Every structure is written in structure tokens, then in C-alpha cells.
């Protein structure tokens, strides 16, 4: 490997990488914090390789740290170095086993005897990448109390030889935007994650889940499940945009999970990609017959899987656009049960049509008439339409108002009440936000066109 090094604010790179673990920390009830004690965290590094180093260290920390404990990432100064430490309160490593910690294929349960399996490739790769940077990695661990992995990086760039490629001496890229408030940087990245599509990765191998998270975490919010049983609970309670699941798993396998999702009217709009080492056409046919949206065989190229996910997400966006177009036309036909979400939308439009002039209609009443759980309804509507129930009700009222404004029999005040909006100012504001003109301007333009 040839490093491509550039001047970098290590604190910003750490914030970007750590933001990907915030959700896992919340899900596992682990106290996760980043502490920047360095007066200047500027170093010359290969950003992609350093991201891999920190990712591997954090993956191990989360793997072996129980709920209720702490994980800290600490940046600090040391003469001639900037140090990056990952400190956990996990199970620790016995002294006699530390000598094989960085050896390839020394599995995690060999090191810890705790029953958690792993390939042992990650720590070997981490050591090699640190060596390429001419840095050092130190291990301090006590069984039952935790482990601290510390990477020491030289300041300056004189330690590199001609084998390294230097990239422009600046720190002006968007990734490395300066920030004086480290916590604000983390919060900003978390907000960005919340607005992204959410993938659920299901695999009984912790290493595989972490590998897959590494593939997608830059572009999507990622949730992990260790088997199909856990995944079933997650899709019932959280808004999931796409599921990637292994085929062979204990308890509930990938086929059973797919069938659970695709035969459940409340979940059937969630796309599922099955991953398997089985290449037989029978396995592929079985997966597609029970409703899997795609079937990818192992081993696979990460970029290929990314492309498959992008394609499915784009298809869902087109479907969402189609549903929104139907909303604009306020179509209330029965709906096609063979199309995921179609019958749901038709029923929802029919209820809103009946309740249009009800100015006291609440989300809870709408959920009750749909005969669904509140969380499931919210998730289904968000998946299909990309909007919340409150946004949906408002949008429906405004679309119907536009129809009524085209009828000269009704004045604007009458239309306002007919769509269940008693405040004429609020109605005019919502209407202009949707159509870009006031209700009176809209009516005038429509009547002139006629």
C-alpha cells in the first residue's frame, strides 16, 4: 500500500468517524465520548487509512464492552507526537495473550475466551497501517477492567520517505472544516445522519456486520442485528428503509426474515437484499419467490453491493414520487393489493376524503381508523410518502383546497372551512408554501386559463 498523506486536523477526522458509532452506543447503552486535549491536532496522514485504523479500534471496543460502561476516544499531545487513544471498560486482554494481539488470524475468542468469534484480521491490518505512517501503537489492558489502545503519530512530515504521495499542503476540504467546538461538530454530524436513509444489516458474524457498516456508514445511517429474530423486533419499531440480511443464521434465517417482512402489510414496502454463499439457482429462485428485492452471492465487491443499494433506493424514490403524484390528484380508488403500499395509500386517501372538513382531526384518530399501531403507521407513511402524518394531513387539505378553488361557486373563506382549516392566514401561508402563490392568485390564474 502506498500512502497518500495530507495535512489534516485529526480532531475533525475523529469526529466524522466517531459519529458513525453514536447510534450503536445509544442502542447498547454505552457511554461514548470524544475528548480533545491536544493544543494542535494537525498531522500528516492518509485520511482513508487513518479512518480504517480508528474504525477497527472502535469496532473492537464496542464488541467487548458491556452495556452501562464507557468508551472514550482521547486526542492528546506528547513531545513530537499527537496521540489518539481508544479507551474502553470492556473485558480486557490477559497479559500472556497480548503478544499475539497483532498477529493475523489470532481470533478474538482465542484472546479473550469469551465466546465472541472473530477473524483477527482487523488488528493486524491496524498495526500495518500505523507502521506505514511510521507511528506506534501501544496496548494497556487489565482483565475485567478494560483496554486502552493508543496510536502515536509524528508531528510534521520529515519522517516520511519518497514512497509516500503528498497531497496539497492545506486543510481546506469540507471534511476538515475548522471547528472550535468539538461537541458541536459531533451534533452536526448526528443531525446529518438522522436525515439519511436507514439500513438494517443482519448477520450473525460481528466482523461481517462491522465490515458492512464500514461500507455504508458514510452514505446511510446503519443499524445492526445479530440474527433474524432481533431484526424482526427492529423493523416493527424503527423506521427502516432497506434490509441487508445474511441467508444462513441461527434462530430466524434470512429467508424467514424476508418472508416475515414481505407477507406483513405493515412492512411489505421495505426492500430486502439477501446475501449468501449459496450460488445454486434454486436458492436464488426461492429468495425471489418469497419477495426478496435482490440476491447477492459472497464473496462480493463492496462497490457492487453499494450500487445495488443505490438502485433500490432510487426505485423507492420513484415510487414515493408516484405516490405523491397520486396524492396531488387525490385519487381514492381501491388500490392494487399486489403493489406494496398501494392498498394502504388508497385506504388513507379514502379516510382523509371523508374527514376533510373535520378541523379537529388528530393523528391518533387517523391511526385508529387505519387500524394500525402508531409506530407502524408513522414508519409506513414515512417509507411510502417521505412525510410525517401531520405533514400528510396538511398536504391533503391544501391539495383539496386547490381543487375547490377552481370551482367559482365557492369563495376563499368557504374553501378554508371546507378543508378543515379555520384560520384564513394560516391557510394562505400553507397554500403559498405548496403552490408558490396565494389562494386568490391561484384562483385568478386558473379562471383566466379556463
Instruction: Tell me the helix, strand and coil percentages in the chain, rounded to 5.
Output: 50, 15, 35
How much is the pTM?
Answer: 0.52
Say whether pLDDT at 136 is over 70. Answer: yes
The model's pLDDT over 94-112, given as tens digits with 9 standing for 90+, comes to 887 777 777 765 544 444 4
Same domain, residue pair 114 and 19: yes
- Tell me: do 8 and 149 sit in the same domain: yes
Are both 292 and 355 inside the same structural domain?
no
Q: For residue 174, what is its C-alpha cell?
A: 469540507
- Residue 193 has a pLDDT of 54
Q: Are residues 146 and 65 in the same domain?
A: yes
Task: Pull the grid cell for residue 165.
Answer: 504521495
What own/partner pairs with CB < 8 Å and gap ≥ 24 does 305-308 have? 305/215, 305/244, 305/273, 306/215, 306/216, 306/219, 308/273
- What is the full DSSP assignment across 241-309? SEEEEESS-SSS-HHHHHHHHHT-TTTTTS-EEEEES---HHHHHHHHHTT-SEEEESS--HHHHHHHH
Structural domain boundaries enclosing 367 = 330-449
CATH of the domain at 106: 3.30.565.10
All residues at 6 or more sequence positions from 272 whose CB lies less than 8 Å from its CB, including other chains: 242, 243, 244, 245, 257, 258, 261, 262, 291, 292, 293, 294
Is residue 176 very low, low, confident or very high in pLDDT (cuts 50, 70, 90)? Answer: very low
Same domain, 236 and 308: yes
**Residue 57 belongs to what H/E stretch?**
helix 47-64
Q: Are 383 and 311 found together in one domain?
A: no
When divided into structural domains, the chain yields a total of 3
Average of per-residue pLDDT across 124-131: 89
Domain boundary among 316, 351, 382: 316
Residue with C-alpha cell 411489505?
268
Residues 151 and 286 in one domain: no
Please give the Cα distance from 34 to 395 (Å, whole number).
42
How far is the C-alpha of 400 from the C-alpha of 404, rounded, in Å?
A: 6
Domain end (from 132, 157, 182):
157
Return the higher-pLDDT residue of 172 and 448.
448
Last residue of a domain, one of 269, 291, 316: 316
42 in the same domain as 149: yes
For the chain, percent of residues with pLDDT exceeding 90: 29
**213: pLDDT confidence band, cut at 50, 70 and 90?**
confident
* CATH code, domain carrying 340: 1.10.10.60
Which CATH number fits the domain that encloses residue 309? 3.40.50.2300
Amino acid at each position: 500500500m502506498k500512502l497518500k498523506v495530507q495535512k489534516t486536523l485529526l480532531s475533525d477526522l475523529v469526529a466524522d468517524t466517531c459519529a458513525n458509532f453514536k447510534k450503536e452506543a445509544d442502542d447498547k447503552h454505552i457511554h461514548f465520548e470524544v475528548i480533545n486535549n491536544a493544543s494542535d491536532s494537525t498531522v500528516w496522514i492518509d485520511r482513508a487509512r487513518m479512518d480504517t485504523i480508528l474504525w477497527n479500534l472502535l469496532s473492537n471496543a464496542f464488541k467487548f464492552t458491556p452495556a452501562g460502561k464507557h468508551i472514550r476516544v482521547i486526542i492528546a499531545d506528547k513531545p513530537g507526537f499527537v496521540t489518539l487513544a481508544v479507551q474502553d471498560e470492556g473485558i480486557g486482554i490477559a497479559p500472556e495473550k497480548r503478544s499475539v494481539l497483532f498477529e493475523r488470524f489470532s481470533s478474538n475468542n482465542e484472546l479473550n475466551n469469551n465466546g465472541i468469534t472473530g477473524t483477527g484480521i482487523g488488528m493486524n491490518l491496524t498495526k500495518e497501517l500505523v507502521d506505514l505512517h511510521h507511528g506506534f501503537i501501544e496496548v494497556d489492558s487489565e482483565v475485567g477492567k478494560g483496554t486502552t489502545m493508543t496510536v502515536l503519530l509524528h508531528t510534521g512530515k520529515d519522517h516520511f520517505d519518497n514512497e509516500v504521495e503528498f497531497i496539497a499542503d492545506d486543510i481546506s476540504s469540507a471534511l476538515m472544516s475548522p471547528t472550535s467546538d468539538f461537541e458541536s461538530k459531533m451534533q452536526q454530524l448526528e443531525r446529518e445522519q438522522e436525515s439519511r436513509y436507514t439500513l438494517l444489516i443482519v448477520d450473525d458474524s460481528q466482523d461481517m456486520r462491522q465490515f458492512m457498516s464500514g461500507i455504508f456508514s458514510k452514505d446511510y445511517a446503519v443499524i445492526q442485528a445479530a440474527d433474524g429474530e432481533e431484526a424482526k423486533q427492529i423493523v416493527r419499531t424503527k423506521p427502516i428503509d432497506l434490509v441487508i440480511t445474511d441467508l444462513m443464521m441461527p434462530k430466524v434465517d434470512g429467508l424467514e426474515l424476508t418472508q416475515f417482512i414481505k407477507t406483513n402489510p405493515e412492512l411489505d414496502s421495505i426492500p430486502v437484499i439477501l446475501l449468501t454463499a449459496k450460488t445454486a439457482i434454486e436458492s436464488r429462485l426461492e429468495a425471489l419467490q418469497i419477495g426478496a428485492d435482490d440476491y447477492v452471492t459472497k464473496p462480493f465487491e463492496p462497490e457492487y453491493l453499494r450500487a445495488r443499494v443505490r438502485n433500490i433506493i432510487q426505485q423507492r424514490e420513484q415510487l414515493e414520487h408516484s405516490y405523491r403524484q397520486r396524492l396531488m390528484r387525490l385519487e381514492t380508488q381501491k388500490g392494487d393489493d399486489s403493489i406494496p403500499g398501494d392498498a394502504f395509500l388508497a385506504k388513507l386517501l379514502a379516510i382523509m376524503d371523508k374527514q376533510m372538513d373535520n378541523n379537529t382531526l388528530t393523528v391518533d384518530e387517523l391511526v385508529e381508523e387505519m387500524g394500525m399501531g402508531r409506530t407502524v403507521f408513522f414508519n409506513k407513511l414515512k417509507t411510502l410518502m417521505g412525510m410525517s402524518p401531520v405533514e400528510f394531513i396538511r398536504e391533503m387539505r391544501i391539495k383539496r383546497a386547490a381543487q375547490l378553488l377552481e370551482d367559482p361557486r365557492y369563495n376563499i373563506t368557504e374553501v378554508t372551512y371546507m378543508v378543515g382549516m379555520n384560520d384564513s392566514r394560516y391557510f394562505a401561508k400553507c397554500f403559498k408554501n405548496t403552490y408558490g402563490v396565494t389562494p386568490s392568485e391561484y384562483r385568478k390564474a386558473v379562471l383566466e386559463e379556463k
